[in-house]
Amino acid sequence: MSVTHIGAVGSDLGRIEGPAKVTGEARYAAEQDHLHDVAYVWPVQSRIAKGTVRWIDDDPIRALPQVLAVLTPDNAPRLQPPDDGELAVLQSRTVSYRGQFVAAVVAQTLETAREAAGQLQVDYDSESHDVQLTADHSQLYRPGEPDAGFVSDTDEGDVDAALETAAFSVDHTYETPAQHNNPMEPHATLAVWDGDELTLYDSNQGAYSVQQSLAKLFGLDPAAVHVLNEHVGGGFGSKGTARPNAVLAAMAARVVQRPVKLALHRHHMFAVVGYRTPTIQRIRLGADADGRLSAIAHDVVEQTSTVLEFVEQTAVATRLLYAAPNRRTTHRIARLDVPTPRWMRAPGECPGMYALESAMDELAIECGLDPIEVRIRNEPHCDPETGKPWSSRSLVECLHRGADLFGWAERDPRPATRTEGSWQVGTGVAASTYPAYAAASSATARADADGTYRVRITASDIGTGARTALTQIAAGALHVPTDLVRVDIGDSAFGQATIAGGSMGTASWGWAVTKACVELREEVERRGDIPGDGIEVRAETSAEIKARTGYTFQGFGAQFAEARVNVDTGEVRVPRLLGMFGVGRIINPRTARSQLIGGMTMGLSMALHEEGVLDPAFGDYVNHDLAEYHVATCADVTDIRAQWLDEQDQHVNPMGSKGIGEIGIVGTAAAVANAVHHASGVRIRDLPIRLDKLLGRLPTRIG
């Protein structure tokens, strides 16, 4: 099945919901103003990292004016045992990490709820905690299965022997810190009960997924849970599953028998919505005299919580990016007294590719080869891990085209040779890759007698332009202009659909929309006209997804960075970033460029700024707000350009498109780190690249 379009797919249609957002008409989870008698709940967070709640003095708080209820582990509604232990909110006195919800206050106003929660006295029986990840942690273990269903370890050939006999080799350890999701809209929920039916206005990346989770927790038929997320202000993975805020709001609403709202404070975001695990990665590469890899070894150490095992698939991209006859990857995990890590934009690929692409840069220097050339020489003709052919692969072309646009040929390969006053200037490159996933979804398409069409699907637009792209896909499949099509999203009542995550939203939803719209168009053509009561078609894609075998589906790209390092202050600036991508057919150039540039900006932020700073004494991240957790700002983002190839992929899905939400961040941090090394001669192997890591290692300015 392929999409035929008349100027819909491929055009730079502006965001359909744009006017509603800029005028304030769009309503987010915490902004629903049609409900009355709304109460507010404010959580109380644990002040210890491990132990037990011994006593809660809640009587004085219950006596305060406007306080409606105090929820504690002793009186909170009982939930069904969840698959995700983080959702067992107030079900036990056990404290598993600092910041865990241990109580909550419900009041008539937000101010009262927050003030009363701050006054609630909680005593603990504290135990010694373990929160620090080390490469030789005594409790490291091999996990059962990393995220997304990958095996934890792979081993092919004789890696150790190949490394011993390699003409060139590198053996380095790279570290990334904890990084925290901070979407513009914090996690928020408005919960309403009507008898045994629950309605949630919730900021999430998948209304259907949240519906299923909450139904199980409260022992309800899924049809009795209605989740709406028409507008979502960002997610980055942190809203990919139901979070404790949704559970707590629903519990509180059931207790006080009125609508209850919970919008998390920015401080809460650093404890209960997930974060990217810190990683310690040892990369060993061996190459022959021509720079062709004979061995790759990628060993990863990372953390999870005692509440739930979550394993970031950090070494997975290493398994397929380059050819080598001997290859080994491992993941080892430490269970610590910390919150559970979660998805954060390009989980696994992002930190893993920072390490691999930094090591490839170091190998190029050892071999005396251009960093682009060493990558091209190790291009695999098929997936090295599975032996499957690529549905399409354009890494080499991305490297060539990107190099031309960036001016790579003018580069002096010697590090620390170009200076401009007190600034040393250098350039770096790194590859990007991300899977082109798709998951089963369902959609309904309707034709009305007035010549308009309506499509409904439980998609989530988290700022990516999904609503607009799906309108274009629907119009293309229906052979009508986009202004005749309305796409409704963000409602669990529309049926099963995958989340906005894993760069698979548009691919998955678009597949279902295409199928429904093609079938509707054919039915209309068969009938010859549209009756007064319209025609409706429902389609789902589980069979098509199961049949999607025989190829490895992957997007690729090349990231180029220019870095300037001040020899007096150690300050790093990145005046230029260029990304060249091969990601199949672009549905909407305007929103695609926005996504790719956004990912690259986040990668720049990862390279230079983002770092969760752990205080081992308290077992918590001390910089838990946006004043001290630094992210890239407008001053850091100068000339960032995203380009793409006209890549044709007839195998990936009916639209020929690959996901673009995450590939932009992958490789960017490595490109920046490689550029910093080329500029200064200093190699930083632990992110972020702070000035204190450079000072004392930079050359002295002459004159």
CA distance linking residue 676 with residue 689, whole number of Å? 9
Contact call for residues 582 and 442 (beta carbons, < 8 A): no
Strands (E), 516-604: 535-540, 554-566, 572-582
Question: How far is C-alpha 25 from the geometric centre of its chain's CA atoms?
Answer: 28
Contact call for residues 478 and 520 (beta carbons, < 8 A): yes
Give every CB contact of residue 226 below 8 A, 6+ residues apart in sequence.
Answer: 197, 198, 199, 200, 211, 491, 492, 493
Q: Which residue in the block uniquely carries the two structure tokens 């967070």?
A: 45
Kindly state the tokens that stand for 605. Answer: 């932020």
In 437-481, where does DSSP find H-type helix?
466-478
> What 3-state DSSP class applies to 542?
helix
Contact call for residues 419 and 634 (beta carbons, < 8 A): no
Contact call for residues 585 and 647 (beta carbons, < 8 A): yes
Contact call for residues 378 and 367 (beta carbons, < 8 A): no
What does each C-alpha distance from 485 to 27, 477, 491, 513 come to in angstroms?
Answer: 22, 11, 18, 12
CA distance linking residue 608 with residue 574, whole number of Å? 9
Kindly state the tokens that stand for 68. Answer: 């409606």
The one catalytic residue in 349, 362, 610, 662 is 662
Number of H helices, E strands in the chain: 17, 28
Neighbour-count burial of 431, counting CB atoms closer than 10 A to its CB (0-12 exposed, 13-18 middle, 19+ buried):
buried
What is the DSSP code string of 606-634?
A: HHHT--B-EETTTTEES--STTTS----T
Distance separating the N- and C-terminal Cα atoms of the chain: 67
DSSP 24: T
Q: Which of 95, 90, 117, 104 is nearest to 46 (CA)?
A: 95
Kindly state the tokens that stand for 551. Answer: 């190829």
481: left (phi over 0), alpha (psi -120 to 50) or beta: beta
Q: Which of 133, 104, 129, 119 is nearest to 48 (CA)?
A: 129
What does each C-alpha distance from 85 to 92, 217, 308, 388, 517 come to in angstroms?
Answer: 11, 11, 6, 37, 40
CA distance linking residue 31 with residue 201, whole number of Å? 9
Q: Would the CA dihedral through 32, 33, 35, 37 be positive or negative?
A: positive
Question: Among this protein's residues, is 662 annotated catalytic?
Answer: yes
Kindly state the tokens that stand for 461. Answer: 């637009």
DSSP 347: T
Contact call for residues 619 and 98 (beta carbons, < 8 A): yes
Our CA angle for 201, 203, 205, nearest 5°, is 120
Q: Mind telling me the catalytic residues?
A: 662
